[in-house]
């Protein structure tokens, strides 16, 4: 292919932004969609009847998970909700390694049922197979749901001067994944009670952002939302700013993080800013509406924190600590891809 250079091998994790942009150009996405596929966007939006919108999202569970069926529902519901939609219909593709038991598949199906009940969605089908192509269970999901036009909040909708708000805390999902994937090492370092507490992060504080997205989507002063997933909070902020054509200034010390997350990620020398973070929702909100947004979050029982402000693109993406600042870190792949050792 002229002008492209030699092919390069990609590391584990979602495709880098440059590769993804090229792939989207190759498939020829419909530019007439209300919200088409783009790097950083959580979902696409279609308008089949010209009025009500349908929000569509797709994501797999590839990291080790004790409950991949449930988790697949939640992360896909997050993407629909973070775009302003209401999670309604779910399809799942389950690919299991040779030797899997039918009981294990039963548990995955039970997880899908429980996840759908939690977010108000209905399982409508999918596909299940056993294949030598995988060495652990992969559950890939598709979630769809309706939205009214005024509730659509694309990742790329942030405006100069908007405040950057985040819910709960960062690396929630990473905390549980590490506790599952490196069980013995975590048990030896911190004890079984600590490990079980980290595993419970999937549900407490929880990886779902559906509740807070429903709150934020109803405010006119909210211009954009973005679900924190692979690549962590730094990647999500970068995606949001770049999709919006904006700069951003983030106060590092204001980014909320849990004690357990700090300890377990430090043990494996992983940067908490770049670790998968389902459970946190980023919101761009006009400064005049930020107090109302935080008040609504408080009434809903969801912690919300102001961690920065969107700026003119010429100011770049800056992370401030004390009197110094640096470029917002760039993570080509999620920090959990580096997880190694005992």
Full set of structural domains in the chain with CATH: 34-151 (3.30.1330.10), 155-338 (3.90.650.10)
Cα separation, 237 vs 281, in Å, equals 10
The pLDDT of residue 36: 76
Q: Which of 24-33, 226-235, 256-265 has the lowest mean pLDDT?
A: 24-33
Q: Is the pLDDT of residue 341 over 70?
A: no
> What number of other Cβ atoms are within 10 A of residue 204's Cβ?
8
User: How high is the mean pLDDT of the chain?
Assistant: 92
pTM: 0.90
The pLDDT of residue 13: 73
Confidence tier at 1 by pLDDT (50, 70, 90): very low
Tell me which of 332 and 128 has the higher pLDDT.
128
Q: In this structure, are residues 226 and 239 in contact, taking their beta carbons and an 8 Å threshold? A: yes
The pLDDT of residue 340: 62
Q: Is the pLDDT of residue 276 over 50?
A: yes
Stretch 268-285: mean pLDDT: 97
The pLDDT of residue 5: 64
SS3 119: helix
The pLDDT of residue 295: 97
The pLDDT of residue 85: 96
The 10s digit of each residue's pLDDT in 239-249 is 999 999 999 99
Cα separation, 89 vs 104, in Å, equals 23
Going across the sheet that includes 138-147, the strands are 44-46, 53-61, 138-147, 89-96, 122-130
Confidence tier at 196 by pLDDT (50, 70, 90): very high
The pLDDT of residue 63: 83
């Amino acid at each position: 292919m002229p002008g492209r250079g030699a092919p390069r091998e990609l590391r584990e994790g979602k495709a880098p932004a440059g590769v993804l942009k090229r792939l989207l150009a190759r498939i020829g996405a419909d530019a007439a969609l209300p919200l088409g596929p783009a790097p950083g966007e959580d979902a696409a939006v279609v308008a089949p009847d010209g009025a009500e919108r349908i929000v569509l999202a797709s994501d797999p569970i590839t990291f080790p998970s004790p409950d991949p069926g449930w988790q697949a529902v939640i992360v896909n519901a997050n993407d629909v909700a973070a775009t302003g939609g209401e999670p309604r219909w779910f399809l799942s593709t389950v690919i299991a390694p040779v030797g899997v038991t039918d009981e294990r598949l039963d548990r995955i199906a039970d997880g899908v049922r429980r996840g759908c009940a939690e977010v108000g969605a209905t399982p409508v089908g999918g596909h299940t197979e056993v294949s030598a192509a995988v060495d652990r269970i992969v559950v890939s999901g598709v979630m769809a749901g309706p939205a009214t036009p005024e509730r659509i909040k694309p990742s790329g909708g942030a405006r100069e001067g908007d405040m950057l708000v985040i819910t709960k805390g960062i690396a929630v999902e990473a905390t549980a994944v590490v506790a599952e994937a490196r069980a013995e090492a975590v048990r030896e370092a911190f004890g079984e009670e600590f490990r079980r507490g980290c595993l419970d992060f999937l549900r407490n504080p929880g990886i779902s952002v559906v509740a807070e997205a429903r709150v934020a989507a109803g405010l006119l002063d909210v211009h954009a939302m973005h679900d924190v997933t692979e690549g962590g909070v730094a990647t999500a902020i970068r995606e949001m700013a770049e999709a919006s054509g904006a700069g951003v200034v983030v106060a590092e010390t204001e980014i909320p993080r849990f004690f357990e997350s700090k300890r377990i990620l430090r043990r494996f020398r992983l940067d908490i800013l770049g670790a998968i973070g389902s459970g946190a929702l980023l919101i761009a909100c006009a400064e005049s509406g930020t107090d109302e947004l935080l008040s609504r979050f408080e009434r809903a029982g969801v912690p919300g924190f102001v961690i920065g402000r969107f700026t003119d693109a010429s100011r770049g993406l800056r992370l401030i600590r004390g009197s110094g600042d640096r470029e917002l870190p760039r993570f080509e792949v999620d920090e959990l891809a580096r997880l190694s050792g005992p």
